[in-house]
């Protein structure tokens, strides 16, 4: 009986061991299979693809982090580098200094000695009479301005003073450069000065009027009609003559045929935010420079609805409203799209031999592959669905090693910057600034639980008083739509808001008439992007700057848990 039981129990133990072994092996095989599938299907982030968003964040972040998440303006070349590589050989870096004034004064003294005259001012016996053509009048103005504004602006040159409205007044005009800007653009001011006499009969400035007060020193402008007759311009006579927005032409057919062009068809970046649009535009311009070609540029933009109260995208905006087209023409080889297409069609109609064209249908064709292409026109077409039709995809991956975005070529519009200078000048370049973020963020209590209460009128008064001296000029840059929201601050400061300066883009303004001219005689709206651009630039010029997310609230810029 016992011997019969032994053979019956051994197979059971062996079968149990085999079952356990098979089960473990199956688990092992199944695990290996899972890891194999993951290894095949998982694609780790391409470091080159990841670099584009990283660079976007770096180059487009505002100097002040407060503005980064509130329809921030595109950070242009004048913000991110000290001197453009395309800058003139001699930049007006120092301007008129005390040493320059002393040399001018010494020269005048020598001239007077040679003429057997004294250095003292003419007409000193009459304290109510000033000879504005006396060189010492200009010396007095230069010294006064240098002492008053030397921390803010660089004085470049002066015009000869002219008579004011009273015998003891002179109007003086000068050009200057703002120290907060890294560009070499020039601005103009003209002011009225009241003079008296000091020791040794030298000129002293008794009183200086404010920004653009010296009306007799402004340069008159008149448009000439056929036949020599003149008529006054609609725009004020202080119009900036240094802006050249004309569209360059290719000239003769031969010039067009000799050219090499890179043409980007409109892609998915159209109507996107300005940061994405310009990031893509600089990719195309950079590729054109890499290929040593002329970039075909569409001046017509679509402004994203995020900048408009209606929330609707707006087509038909002109590039020149927002950016400095004159500087772009100097820094890069470009041709306007309609001019290019017209000359292209004209050539094809009048010549049997067509222009050699290479059409590129995918961004995966790299700039390096096109380096030796001899076609007159390389035409990139972006017909794929988003995001394959974004221009910036051309500069991703390996191409980012070769194509450099020409940041130096893009500056902000001189017309908008003139408004910035006007606002700053009216506060005599001596003001503090606070940025108050409200709008949708103040309503969204889940992401910004304290923002609304921390930027309430009472809270603003309490917090700003700790950082800004009483009765200082205080510029408030904000997206708060209600003008009277900041009335409580007016009891402690001289408050200035962007809407206090509406006349600068109103129907009688320089900006209005010049942009209307660009728009074929149709009025141009001072839109949300323009407002935020001017607001931001004036804010940067404040001596003390109070930020929403650094000074007014403990909430994070991007919401809860993002600090």
Q: Answer for the pair 253, 350: CB distance below 8 angstroms, yes or no.
A: yes
Please state whether beta strands 432-436 and 545-546 pair in parallel, antiparallel, or not at all (unpaired): parallel
User: Rounded to whole angstroms, how far apart are CA atoms 210 and 366?
Assistant: 56
Examine the pLDDT at 510 and tell me if it is beyond 60.
yes
The H or E element containing residue 392 is none
Q: What is the pLDDT of residues 171-208, one digit of tens each?
A: 999 999 998 887 888 999 999 999 998 877 889 999 99
User: pLDDT-derived band of residue 93, with 50, 70 and 90 as boundaries?
Assistant: low
Alpha-carbon distances, residue 291 vs 175, 374, 402 (angstroms): 39, 11, 10
In whole numbers, what is the pLDDT of the chain averaged over residues? Answer: 84
Alpha-carbon distances, residue 277 vs 129, 390, 392 (angstroms): 59, 9, 9
User: What angle separates helix 528-540 from helix 414-426, to the nearest 10 degrees?
Assistant: 50
The number of helix segments (H) and strand segments (E) in the chain equals: 16, 18
User: Rounded to whole angstroms, how far apart are CA atoms 228 and 226?
Assistant: 6
User: Rounded to whole angstroms, how far apart are CA atoms 416 and 505?
Assistant: 10
pLDDT of residue 394: 97
Q: Answer for the pair 132, 170: CB distance below 8 angstroms, yes or no.
A: yes
Complete DSSP assignment for 223-269: EEPTTS-EEE-SS-TT--TT---PPP---SHHHHHH--EEEEPP-TT
Task: Report the percentage of the chain scoring pLDDT > 70.
Answer: 81
Strands (E), 485-532: 494-497
Please state whether beta strands 153-158 and 169-178 pair in parallel, antiparallel, or not at all (unpaired): antiparallel
Q: Answer for the pair 231, 223: CB distance below 8 angstroms, yes or no.
A: yes
CA atoms within 13 A on the CB side of 298: 18
Alpha-carbon distances, residue 316 vs 298, 526, 554 (angstroms): 11, 14, 41
Q: How many residues does the chain have?
A: 563
User: Rounded to whole angstroms, how far apart are CA atoms 550 and 540?
Assistant: 15
Average pLDDT over residues 453-471: 97
- The token pair that represents 299 in the structure block: 């001046």
Q: What is the pLDDT of residues 230-285, one digit of tens each?
A: 444 433 445 567 788 888 887 767 788 889 999 999 999 999 999 999 999 999 99
Tokens 């009273």 identify what position? Answer: 166
Examine the pLDDT at 81 and tell me if it is beyond 90.
no
Alpha-carbon distances, residue 494 vs 148, 470, 498, 499, 545 (angstroms): 20, 9, 14, 15, 15
Q: What is the pLDDT of residues 424-448, one digit of tens each?
A: 999 999 999 999 999 889 999 999 9
First to last CA, the chain: 82
pLDDT of residue 10: 54
Give the residue from 135, 142, 143 showing the smallest Cα distance to 108: 135
Q: Answer for the pair 457, 487: CB distance below 8 angstroms, yes or no.
A: yes
């Amino acid at each position: 009986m016992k011997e019969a039981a032994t053979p019956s129990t051994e197979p059971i133990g062996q079968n149990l061991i085999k079952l356990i072994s098979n089960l473990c092996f199956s688990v092992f095989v199944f695990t290996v299979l899972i890891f194999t599938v993951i290894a095949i299907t998982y694609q780790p982030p391409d470091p080159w693809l990841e670099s584009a968003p990283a660079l976007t964040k770096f180059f487009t972040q505002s100097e002040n982090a407060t503005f980064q998440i509130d329809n921030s303006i595109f950070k242009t070349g004048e913000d991110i580098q000290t001197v453009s590589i395309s800058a003139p050989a001699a930049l007006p870096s120092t301007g008129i200094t005390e040493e320059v004034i002393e040399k001018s004064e010494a020269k005048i003294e020598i001239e007077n000695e040679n003429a057997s005259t004294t250095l003292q001012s003419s007409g000193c016996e009459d304290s109510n009479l000033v000879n504005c053509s006396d060189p010492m009048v200009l010396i007095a103005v230069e010294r006064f301005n240098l002492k008053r504004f030397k921390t803010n602006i660089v004085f470049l040159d002066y015009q000869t003073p002219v008579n004011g409205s009273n015998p003891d007044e002179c109007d003086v005009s000068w050009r200057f450069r703002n120290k907060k800007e890294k560009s070499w653009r020039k601005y103009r001011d003209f002011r009225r000065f009241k003079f008296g006499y000091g020791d040794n009969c030298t000129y002293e400035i008794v009183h200086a009027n404010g920004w653009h007060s010296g009306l007799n020193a402004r340069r008159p402008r008149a448009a000439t009609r056929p036949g020599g007759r003149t008529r006054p311009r609609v725009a004020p006579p202080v119009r900036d003559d240094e802006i050249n927005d004309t569209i360059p032409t290719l000239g003769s057919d031969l010039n067009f045929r000799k050219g090499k062009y890179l043409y980007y068809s409109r892609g998915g970046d159209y109507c996107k935010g300005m940061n994405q649009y310009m990031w893509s535009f600089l990719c195309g311009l950079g590729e054109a420079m890499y290929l040593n070609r002329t970039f075909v540029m569409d001046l017509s933009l679509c402004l994203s609805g995020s900048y408009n109260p209606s929330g609707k995208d707006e087509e038909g905006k002109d590039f020149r409203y927002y950016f400095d087209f004159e500087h772009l023409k100097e820094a890069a080889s470009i041709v306007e799209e309609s001019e290019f297409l017209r000359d292209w069609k004209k050539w094809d109609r009048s010549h049997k031999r067509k222009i050699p064209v290479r059409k590129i249908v995918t961004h995966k064709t790299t700039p390096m592959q096109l380096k030796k292409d001899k076609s007159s026109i390389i035409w990139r077409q972006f017909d794929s669905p988003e995001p394959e039709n974004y221009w910036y995809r051309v500069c991703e991956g390996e191409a980012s090693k070769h194509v450099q975005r020409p940041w130096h070529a893009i500056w902000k519009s001189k017309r908008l910057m003139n408004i910035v200078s006007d606002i700053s000048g009216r506060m005599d370049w001596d003001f503090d600034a606070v940025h108050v973020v409200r709008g949708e963020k103040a309503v969204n209590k889940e992401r910004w639980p304290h923002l609304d209460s921390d930027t309430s009128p009472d809270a603003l008064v309490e917090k700003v008083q700790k950082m800004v001296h009483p009765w200082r000029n205080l510029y408030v840059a904000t997206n708060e739509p209600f003008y009277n929201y900041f009335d409580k601050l007016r009891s402690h400061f001289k408050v200035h808001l962007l809407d206090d300066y509406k006349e600068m883009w109103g129907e009688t303004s320089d900006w209005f008439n010049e942009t209307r001219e660009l728009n074929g005689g149709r009025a141009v709206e001072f839109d949300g992007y323009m407002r935020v651009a001017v607001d931001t630039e004036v804010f940067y010029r404040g001596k003390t700057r109070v930020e929403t997310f650094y000074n007014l609230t403990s909430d994070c810029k991007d919401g809860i848990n993002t600090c």
